Amino acid sequence: MSKLLYIKANAKADGESRTFRISDSFIKAYKEKYPADEVVELDLYEAGLGFLPKGKINELREAVQQNDRNHPILKFAYEFAEADKYVIAEPIWNLGLPAILKAYIDYVAVGGITFTYTEKGPVGLCHNKKAVNIITRGGDYSSESMETLEMADRYLRNIFGFMGITDFETIATDRLDVITEDTDKLMEGAIQKAEEAALAF
């Protein structure tokens, strides 16, 4: 049995997020295909995730040394490390991630839990795991002129790799805010792609 951590980062009210329409379809198909697996849903806004508090870095280091799994901040890193699979769902905002998702990464990328330092440099500790990033974007970031501006999926792919998760797939839905596009058709295609990807995840 595998444990899937479903990380949601969108400030829109329930039922309004196009991102979650796609990612929820993925999760539904996944549960039907793998009913014995555990799926843990983490909505970062509902969790009330904030930024790392000032002056707490030394406290966090001591808590890592003590393996304090109930620490209010480190509990997110331990939960992340214990998962086998990850589904991340977010829109692109201002060419990058929603700030709350970056804050979450700062909670989970913790030396001694998800990576470690060696004499040869940092090494990820999250081995034999895989992730899929489900991202919605208003423009077309697949084009050569826009690709270099995309810093959301690119960042997640790099930071997950830093923690040892190199099996990383992206399901991106572009052009959702282009007025000449049939957004319903784009969404239908994205949902179908997500459902198909879930069956092999």
- Residue 59's pLDDT is what? 84
Binding site members: 136-139
Query: Is 90 exceeded by the pLDDT of residue 3?
Result: yes
Q: Among the listed ranges 34-38, 97-101, 118-122, which one has the minimum average pLDDT value? A: 118-122
- Residue 149's pLDDT is what? 86
Q: What percent of the chain has pLDDT over 90?
A: 76
**Mean pLDDT over all residues of the chain?**
94
CATH number of 27's domain: 3.40.50.360
Structural domain that includes position 67? 3-199
Q: Given CA atoms 16, 14, 29, 99 in this order, what sign does their dihedral have?
A: positive
Q: Which two tokens stand for residue 159?
A: 């930071």
Mean pLDDT of all residues in 29-50 = 96
pLDDT in tens, 106-145: 999 999 999 999 998 999 999 999 999 999 998 888 877 7
Binding site members for FMN: 136-139
Query: Is 90 exceeded by the pLDDT of residue 148?
Result: no
pLDDT band at 98, cuts 50/70/90?
A: very high
Query: Is 80 exceeded by the pLDDT of residue 14?
Result: no
Number of domains in the chain: 1
The H helix count followed by the E strand count for the chain is 7, 7
Q: Among the listed ranges 50-64, 106-120, 131-145, 153-167, which one has the minimum average pLDDT value? A: 50-64
Start-to-end CA distance of the chain, whole Å, equals 13
- Residue 57's pLDDT is what? 83
Q: Which two tokens stand for residue 95?
A: 């060419």
Q: Are 133 and 153 in contact (CB under 8 A)?
A: yes
Q: Rounded to whole angstroms, what are the CA distances from 133 to 36, 59, 93, 109, 156? A: 22, 32, 15, 17, 8
